[in-house]
């Protein structure tokens, strides 16, 4: 087992409320421009005016054109999003469907709500099981594998909002162990009625948009989409490929403390583990893409760790712009981390500098140029005490 | 290649011929082991996971760095469906306690919480290859010193919705509910070799098999338990092979060779 095998990010793909593709995603991040809309109340008594981020119709149409015939014939949102993002990432890596590297690739997709539309239509007696196409979470990964033409190991990981980073961790382990030399990995989550109902019952979503690390923060803004990375080991790199970054580590742990509330000790332990696995210290980290949900509890725990342990790092949180992509949140952060490496620019958090809580070194206002960027950290946490943190290294 | 010792294996499941769904005869000490607090919110999958994780192992007195891997196709589907239905009937009176029990990894959350495991935790679904991938992830955690103990829970408790889904593509396999719990610890009693090379045969017989004996169950809890029981009977140098096949020539094979007899099962928490 060659544990020292280096792993590079060679391709990126994303679909989000910003639109289809990395270009509109990066544009919206840098402009701190959100496209949130009112969500329709889903049950008697649910408050009107709750904000959410939806993949726009034109982006859906673009995605639908590109996905497999099978998915186009019976579209399930998770498969549409994940297939689109995977195909974009493959093109971005300079690889093609059926390519030798891709044929044996590992595919691992993280999701929390999976094929939510299929299950929810079944439960709501709106469609029968055949019409839905089925709801097993494995079908998302199976669909992505079929779309890119991969026959290597394929599996779905489900760790609430840390799902995508957990998928990245699993894929890294398999690449380092020699199971495959290329991986198509990331996360996706569609709009889920069950999820909106759940967050509504916890009173964590509402009419005020997500304001990460603001003293006035109150609500999470749920959204949807998918983000995919192509990972290749050093030996699998082809001449001319220019990786976005080397991925050094993705640490995973569990708080084992509370079903929903984050635990500072557990979250901090995940930070320590990520740094140890990457072989660097907190002082080396230049930029942190925070989980930054805009909830009181999450941002208090994360913000406290950042100010005490990472005083030098520039912190940013993208959920004020694209919303919380749930199981795909870590994937959106990973794509943003890699684009930050490429552009040497940190997109701002969509809050005003005057409202930043606790002296945090939060990037606000204009994008921050960082010509000497070396290491970027990407956090993703979830209900159930799930923590997963990736660290990327600049290889330009 | 991984080395490991196996501390325990337990299966809790329906008998052949039983109508698939909830276990007609759940363990008699279920309530005593997991209590009843929150029972109106948690589903049978979470209850059974928690029961097995707490029953068939020493309960640690402190938090551990244990890894927990849950391999399941349908997991907490019952709780997800119930939350959606309860919102319709309860409206704004819907309890906030439903949601933490109604995520796709709720069972994992409550197992980690219930046994104080702070190591890696995963809920994964590899379709018919779930046992091989889940065991790979569990053994990797031992091999790279992330944990000294890896606990694996594999299987499904079929809700009505899960049954409908599973029967869309039945693969000529029966559905019955069941869950297997196994505790892997660091040691050298066994060697595990994995092979994920695709099948050359484009239309192989799908599902799990031990050697040439094919399992008739879709729920891989049963073939996993049978396999892990079998390896404990091997003499030194003997091997057993678990092969799982899925559509599109996807295949995972786990060959376990006994290397020694170990005292891990009698040695507390394996170290």
Residues B192-230 pLDDT 10s:
999 999 888 767 889 999 999 999 999 999 999 999 999
Q: Which residue of B has its CA nearest to A193?
A: B84
d(CA A311, CA A316): 13
| A50 near B CB under 8 A | no
Answer for the pair B122, B70: CB distance below 8 angstroms, yes or no.
Answer: yes
Q: Mean pLDDT over all residues of chain A? A: 96
For each of the domains in chain A, give its residue range(s) and CATH number, in order of start. Answer: 7-236 (3.40.47.10), 245-393 (3.40.47.10)
Q: Are A1 and B106 in contact (CB < 8 Å)?
A: no
CB-CB contact of A132 with A75 (8 Å): no
- Asked if B265 reaches chain A (Cβ–Cβ under 8 Å), the answer is no
Cβ count within 10 A of residue A33? 13
Q: Residues, chain B, total?
A: 271
Domains of chain B: residue spans and CATH: 2-19+29-266 (3.40.47.10)
Closest to A378 measured CA to CA, from A93, A178, A186: A186
Beta-carbon separation of B165 and A134 below 8 A:
yes
B170 compared with A281, residue with greater pLDDT: A281
Report how far residue A327's alpha carbon sits from residue A226's, in angstroms, rounded to the nearest whole number. Answer: 9
What is the DSSP pairing of strand A375-382 with strand A287-289?
parallel
Cβ-Cβ pairs closer than 8 A, A with B, add up to 207
The CA distance from A333 to B267, in Å, is 43
pLDDT, one tens digit per residue, over B124-168 is 999 999 999 999 999 999 999 999 999 999 999 999 999 999 999
Average pLDDT value for residue range A388-395: 98
Q: What is the pLDDT of residue B42?
A: 95
Spatial contact of B117 and B147, defined as CB atoms under 8 Å apart: no
Q: Is B169's pLDDT higher than 90?
A: no
Is the pLDDT score of A328 beyond 80? yes
Backbone φ, ψ for residue A76 (5° rounding): -115, 135
Q: Which of B108, B126, B183 is nearest to A106 (CA)?
A: B126
Q: Which residue of A has its CA nearest to B69?
A: A157
Q: What is the DSSP string of A287-347?
A: EEE----S-HHHHHHHHHHHHHH-TTSEEE-THHHH-B-GGGHHHHHHHHHHHHHHHTEEP
Residue A161 gets which letter from DSSP?
A: B
Over residues A369-391, mean pLDDT: 97
* Mean pLDDT (chain B, rounded): 92
pLDDT given for residue B58 in this prediction: 66
Taking the alpha carbons of A394, A244, A137, B215 in that order, is the dihedral positive or negative? negative
A138 has a pLDDT exceeding 80: yes
- The pLDDT assigned to A146 comes to 96
Nearest alpha carbon to residue B76 among A71, A383, A167, A341: A383
Q: Which of B63, B92, B164 is closest, CB to CB, to A45?
A: B92
Kindly report the nearest CA distance between residue A181 and chain B, in angstroms: 13
Model confidence, pTM: 0.97
The least confident of A187-196, A314-323, A345-354, B168-177 is B168-177
- State the average pLDDT over residues B180-197: 97
Each residue of A71-126: pLDDT tens digit?
999 999 999 999 999 999 999 999 999 899 999 999 999 999 999 999 999 999 99
What span, in angstroms and rounded, lies between the C-alpha atoms of A118 and B164? 12
DSSP H helices, B91-219, are 106-115, 130-143, 160-166
Residue B233 has pLDDT above 50, yes or no: yes
Q: Which residues of B touch A257 (CB under 8 A)?
A: 113
**Contact partners, residue B204, CB within 8 Å, separation at least 6:** B245, B249, B251
Cβ–Cβ below 8 Å for A119 and B249 = no
CA A29/CA A20 separation, integer angstroms? 14
pLDDT for residue A2: 61
Identify the pLDDT of residue B269.
35
CB contact under 8 Å between A203 and B250, yes or no, is no
Q: Is the pLDDT of residue A203 over 70?
A: yes
Residues 232-251 of B with CB under 8 A from A: 247-250
> Within chain A, what is the greatest distance between any pair of CA atoms?
59
Residues 6+ apart with CB under 8 A from B244: B128, B129, B130, B131, B132, B207, B208, B209, B220, B223, B251, B252, B253
- Residue B28: its pLDDT value, please? 93
For A94, phi and psi rounded to 5 degrees?
80, 20
Angle at which helix A116-123 crosses helix A77-92, to 10 degrees, equals 170
State the Cα–Cα distance between residues A299 and A321, nearest whole angstrom: 16
Name the β-bridge partners of A8. A232, A246
Q: Which contiguous run of DSSP H or E holds residue B254?
A: strand B251-258
pLDDT above 50: residue A394: yes
Percent of chain A past pLDDT 90, that is, above it, reads: 96
């Amino acid at each position: 087992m060659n544990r020292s095998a280096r792993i590079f990010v060679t391709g990126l793909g994303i679909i989000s409320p910003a639109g289809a593709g990395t270009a509109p995603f990066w544009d919206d991040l840098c402009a701190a421009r959100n496209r949130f809309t009112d969500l329709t109340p889903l049950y008697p008594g649910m408050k009107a005016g709750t904000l959410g981020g939806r993949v726009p119709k034109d982006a859906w149409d673009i995605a639908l054109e590109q996905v497999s015939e099978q998915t186009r014939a019976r579209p399930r949102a998770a498969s549409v999003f994940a297939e689109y993002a995977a195909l974009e990432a493959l093109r971005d890596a300079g690889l093609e469907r059926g390519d030798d590297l891709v044929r044996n690739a590992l595919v691992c997709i993280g999701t929390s709500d999976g094929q939510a539309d299929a299950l929810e239509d079944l439960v709501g007696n709106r469609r029968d099981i055949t019409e839905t196409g089925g709801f097993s979470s494995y079908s998302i990964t199976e669909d992505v594998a079929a779309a890119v033409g991969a026959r290597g190991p394929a599996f779905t990981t489900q760790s609430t909002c840390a799902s995508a980073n957990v998928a990245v961790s699993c894929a890294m382990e398999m690449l380092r162990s020699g199971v495959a030399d290329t991986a198509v990995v990331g996360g996706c989550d569609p709009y889920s009625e069950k999820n909106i109902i759940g967050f509504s019952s916890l009173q964590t979503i509402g009419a005020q948009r997500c304001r990460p690390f603001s003293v006035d923060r109150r609500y999470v803004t749920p959204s949807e989409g998918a983000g995919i990375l192509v990972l290749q080991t050093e030996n699998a790199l082809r001449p001319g490929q220019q990786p976005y970054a080397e991925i050094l580590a993705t640490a995973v742990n569990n708080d084992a403390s509370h079903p929903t509330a984050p635990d500072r000790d557990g979250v901090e332990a995940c930070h320590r583990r990520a740094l140890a696995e990457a072989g660097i210290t907190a002082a080396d980290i230049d930029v942190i893409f925070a989980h930054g949900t805009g909830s009181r509890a999450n941002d208090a725990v994360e913000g406290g760790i950042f100010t005490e342990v990472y005083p030098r790092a520039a912190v940013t949180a993208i959920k004020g712009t694209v919303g919380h992509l749930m199981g795909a949140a870590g994937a959106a952060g990973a794509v943003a981390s890699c684009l930050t490496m490429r552009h040497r620019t940190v997109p701002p958090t969509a809050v005003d500098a005057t409202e930043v809580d606790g002296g945090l070194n939060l990037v606000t206002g204009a994008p921050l140029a960082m010509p000497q960027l070396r290491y970027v950290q990407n956090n993703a946490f979830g209900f159930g005490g799930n923590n997963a943190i990736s660290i990327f290294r600049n290889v330009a | 290649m991984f080395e490991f010792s196996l501390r325990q294996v337990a299966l809790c499941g329906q008998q052949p011929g039983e109508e698939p769904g909830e276990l007609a005869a759940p363990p008699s000490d279920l309530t005593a082991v997991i209590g009843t607090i929150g029972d109106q919110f948690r589903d049978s999958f979470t209850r059974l996971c928690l029961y097995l994780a707490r029953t068939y192992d020493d309960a640690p007195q402190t938090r551990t760095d244990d890894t927990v891997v849950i391999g399941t196709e349908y997991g907490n589907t019952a709780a997800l469906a119930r939350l959606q239905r309860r919102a319709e009937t309860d409206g704004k009176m819907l309890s906030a306690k439903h949601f933490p029990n109604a995520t796709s990894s709720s069972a994992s959350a409550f197992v980690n919480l219930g046994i104080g495991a702070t190591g890696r935790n995963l809920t994964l679904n590899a379709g018919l290859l779930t046992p091989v991938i889940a065991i790979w992830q569990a053994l990797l955690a031992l091999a790279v010193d992330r944990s000294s103990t890896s606990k694996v829970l594999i299987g499904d408790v079929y809700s009505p919705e899960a049954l409908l889904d599973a029967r869309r593509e039945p693969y000529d396999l029966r559905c019955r509910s069941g869950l297997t719990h196994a505790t892997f610890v660091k040691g050298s009693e066994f060697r595990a070799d994995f092979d994920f090379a695709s099948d050359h045969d484009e239309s192989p017989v799908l599902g799990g098999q031990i050697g040439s004996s094919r399992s008739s169950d879709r729920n891989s809890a049963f073939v996993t338990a049978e396999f892990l029981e079998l390896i404990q009977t091997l003499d030194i140098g003997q091997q057993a092979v678990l092969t799982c096949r899925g559509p599109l020539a996807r295949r995972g094979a786990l060959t376990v060779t006994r290397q020694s007899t170990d005292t891990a099962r009698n040695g507390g928490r394996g170290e």
